[in-house]
Amino acid sequence: MTSVSGKGVQVVGTRPIRHDGMDKVTGRALYGADIQLPGLLYGKVLRSPHAHARIKSIDTSRAEALPGVRAIITAQDMPDITERIGELGETMYNLSYLKENVLASRKVLYKGHAVAAVAATSPHIAEEALALIRVEYEPLPPVMNVKEAMTKGAPLLHEDLVTDELGKNGTQPSNVAKHFRFQKGDVEKGFQQADVIVERELQTATVHQGYLEPQNATALWGADGNVTVWCSTQGAFMTREQVYQLLDLSEAKVKVVPMEIGGGFGGKISAYLEPVAALLSRKTGRPVKVVMSRSEVFEGTGPTPAAHIKVKMGANRAGRITGAEISLYYEAGAFPGSAVQAGAMCAFACYNLENAQVDGYDVVVNKPKSAAYRAPGATQAALAVETVIDELCERIGMDPLEFRLVNGVKEGDRRVDGPAYRRIGYLEVVKATREHPHYSAPLGGPNRGRGVATGFWFNAGGPSSCYLSVNADGTVGMVEGSTDIGGSRVAVAMQAAEVLGIPAEAVKPVVADTDSVGYTSVTGGSSVAFKTGLAAYEAAQDVKRQMVERAARIWEKPVEEVESANGVFHLKSDPELKMTFKDLAARLLTTGGPITGRASVNARGAGPGFAAHIVDVEVDPETGKTQVLRYTTVQDVGRAIHPSYVEGQMQGGAAQGVGWALNEEYVYNKQGDMTNSTFLDYRMPTSLDLPMIDTVIVEVPNPTHPYGVRGVGEVPIVPPPAAIANAIYGAIGIRMTTLPMSPGKVLEALQAKGKRQR
């Protein structure tokens, strides 16, 4: 770890223990599954055994007759909301698809698709009841990838889905929900100017976020029609929105209580169980808890889209990219809406291109509806672009980081899709990477290779809120609405502490329910330290202003006479007359009452994040197994509020990227059944698979945040698969183009190469 600066701040940049740390490591933190309520019932969801089938009938009568069963719901129990879809243009999801995903009404579109749900007095009875529900299906042939889905005459998932083709609706139904294009300059002219052109076709797998805590929801539908939902969510307000819209209620009728969250990575934004638990509670008049098993998480929630990518890039001998085009075909899963648009914006975002074209295709297939997963869509695109650049560099004989310094983006450059950059740190990151000892260290053995790759993520802002209240002991209660997935509580608290001149530990953060804090957008887009940090900063300013007024009142001086610095209030005219924040806090109740602060912001300009990764691997020629030997991540974080958690994000993103690169995938049989829906069979990296991941923090302050914060959580997952593919090429001279680059595939490639060479 290298931190660049810490000037003028006392708290920002330090590493206090996070407020929720002890509770979490000692098992005392309360998660959704810990909820117990008087009269609680247990819900279970019946899921489709078919990847594609028409539902002909559902008979719940035998299940209803089972003693202990209190209610059964199907899609028929959900309100008819089709008329309201038009109103929902501003939201990020299509309500009718969401509804169908929560409980299927006409067709099941993937194995694991929810069909019905039971509430019973015990989880065992609920499970038993599931087996008694008779669903008559008419099985249909499944389409399991974009190639199959786009084949002429392919089975259609949605008979009424017509392609949105370059902004115009088609007439014939198809499995392609959307085809869009970004263009800049003249890509054909660009290729004509190239000395070298590389063209590749790549494939990534369906990969799950693999959060530790399965989805869960507990709901209590009050007799007055108010619904309370406790759940594991990345955004209580977003869950509230989905629940009240799906259940056709007014916003204020729904209260969502975010419990502690055991990981999310984008996968806990969409609603799955919340509306189900709520409907079961309405029907029974009792609280109902539903918790997914791991298999349900794999099969019933949203993984990242698998992608098929065609990429072509040309460069001249000077190392300048002259033309670049990419076509991204992303599997949306059962319903339209993959991350292909984000992927398309990210694909060339590291490079200042004159001639480029990006095509995106959103394709439905008989897999779970894809969801956000850490820098959604970017990793897939980066695999293609960053490996092709590696090949270009090899062909023109240029150092790949040098190449990126030639082509990399800086302030004022524009992405292919339009927007110009403010102050960014891509070049700083590449330089720091080039200078890192890892980049020039000897590899130290045979079958070893080194790869580099870079990545971009937008980072988001959005609305957020914060309340602060000063306690008599000089501590400050902080209420925020951002679910804390990766240490954001402490990062937000530190920004309030910095303003107030008190230790981070003196701020006591609370993540509140939707009735108890102002609107706060979802914990996603790497936004929290930026947007909720800003809200905390502003709320602290509100507190500080009042503290200054109070000091002035106590000293019987005009407010203008009082100054505040580093948590000490003093009189300009008499610097000896001073009070610490703590001194003053102790006097509030007797000098006019308590002091509280508030702020709500709509934070804009989160500031893009760029990362470069260096990785060394060794490939076992006998087994095809790739071992990661050394890993270094370099990232512009704007300003690391709490460097440890920034480093944790960098390391975590890299670790997940290693999983994508080497092992993780949904394995399907021909019927469209996932055959590895457990953590035993779905191979995520363990600590034994990873070296210590070294981190280099680069700080190019974001000009739109008082402390220069940029988002940090997502971009570290973007470079790893490409960097590892490049490293494998270095080790064995083979350009792998299909994820995961698992031992079997590598061995196969080695054998094919061997045959070619014989």
Q: Establish if 549 lies at the interface with a second copy (CB under 8 A).
A: no
Decide: 68 and 125 in contact? Cβ < 8 Å.
yes
Rg of the chain over all Cα atoms, to the nearest angstrom? 27
Please state, in angstroms and rounded to a whole number, the distance separating the CA atoms of residues 249 and 228.
13
Q: Specify the amino acid at residue 149.
A: A
Strand partners, 387: none
Least separation in angstroms between CB 522 and a second copy: 13
Q: Establish if 592 lies at the interface with a second copy (CB under 8 A).
A: yes
Which one among 7, 8, 36, 442 touches a second copy, defined by CB under 8 A?
A: 36
Q: Establish if 688 lies at the interface with a second copy (CB under 8 A).
A: no
CA of residue 108 relative to chain centroid, distance = 27
| Nearer of residues 344 and 547 to a second copy, judged by Cβ | 547
Please state, in angstroms and rounded to a whole number, the distance separating the CA atoms of residues 204 and 739.
5
Please state, in angstroms and rounded to a whole number, the distance separating the CA atoms of residues 667 and 516.
43
Q: Which residues, numbered 268-287, are part of the site for a second copy (CB under 8 A)? A: 285
Contacts for 758 with CB less than 8 Å, ≥ 6 apart: none
Least separation in angstroms between CB 692 and a second copy: 27
The three state secondary structure string of 581-618 is HHHHHHHHHHCCCCCEEEEEEEECCCCCEEEEEEEEEE
Backbone angles phi, psi at 335, to 5 degrees: -130, 150
Strand partners, 120: 42, 69
| Nearer of residues 205 and 476 to a second copy, judged by Cβ | 476
Tokens of 219: 């709901």
Decide: 638 and 701 in contact? Cβ < 8 Å.
yes
Read off the DSSP letter of residue 17: P
Least separation in angstroms between CB 241 and a second copy: 9
Read off the DSSP letter of residue 253: G
| Nearer of residues 313 and 595 to a second copy, judged by Cβ | 595
Q: Establish if 218 lies at the interface with a second copy (CB under 8 A).
A: no
Least separation in angstroms between CB 601 and a second copy: 5
Total site size for a second copy, rule CB under 8 A: 62
Decide: 9 and 494 in contact? Cβ < 8 Å.
no
Which one among 130, 599, 612, 661 touches a second copy, defined by CB under 8 A?
A: 599
Please state, in angstroms and rounded to a whole number, the distance separating the CA atoms of residues 493 and 487.
10
Which one among 598, 625, 683, 745 touches a second copy, defined by CB under 8 A?
A: 598
Least separation in angstroms between CB 518 and a second copy: 4
Q: Which residues, numbered 233-262, are part of the site for a second copy (CB under 8 A)? A: 250-252, 255
Least separation in angstroms between CB 473 and a second copy: 4
Which string of x and - marks every residue 447-466 that binds a second copy (by CB under 8 A)? ----------------xxx-
Helices 528-555 & 488-500 angle (0-180, nearest 10): 30
Decide: 656 and 263 in contact? Cβ < 8 Å.
no
Least separation in angstroms between CB 571 and a second copy: 24
Read off the DSSP letter of residue 519: -
Q: Specify the amino acid at residue 172.
A: Q
| Nearer of residues 498 and 542 to a second copy, judged by Cβ | 542
Residue 412: exposure state from Cβ atoms within 10 A (0-12, 13-18, ≥19): exposed
Q: Establish if 704 lies at the interface with a second copy (CB under 8 A).
A: no
| Nearer of residues 464 and 742 to a second copy, judged by Cβ | 464
Least separation in angstroms between CB 25 and a second copy: 8
Which one among 57, 169, 440, 590 touches a second copy, defined by CB under 8 A?
A: 590
Least separation in angstroms between CB 604 and a second copy: 9
Q: Which residues, numbered 86-105, are part of the site for a second copy (CB under 8 A)? A: 90
Q: Considering only 430-438, 502-510, 621-629, 683-691, which stretch makes contact with a second copy by CB under 8 A?
A: 502-510
CA of residue 677 relative to chain centroid, distance = 21
Q: Establish if 475 lies at the interface with a second copy (CB under 8 A).
A: yes
Which one among 79, 477, 605, 706 touches a second copy, defined by CB under 8 A?
A: 477
Tokens of 34: 């810990």
Which one among 515, 561, 583, 689 touches a second copy, defined by CB under 8 A?
A: 515
| Nearer of residues 57 and 590 to a second copy, judged by Cβ | 590
Q: In what order do the strands lie in the sheet with 53-59?
A: 107-108, 53-59, 134-139
Which one among 479, 634, 732, 750 touches a second copy, defined by CB under 8 A?
A: 479
Least separation in angstroms between CB 20 and a second copy: 9
Please state, in angstroms and rounded to a whole number, the distance separating the CA atoms of residues 572 and 561.
5
Which one among 6, 14, 37, 263 touches a second copy, defined by CB under 8 A?
A: 37
Which one among 7, 8, 38, 758 touches a second copy, defined by CB under 8 A?
A: 38
**Positions that interact with a second copy (CB under 8 A):** 21-23, 25-26, 28, 30, 34, 36-38, 90, 220, 222-224, 226, 250-252, 255, 285, 463-465, 467, 469-473, 475, 477, 479, 506, 508, 510, 512-520, 542, 588-590, 592-603
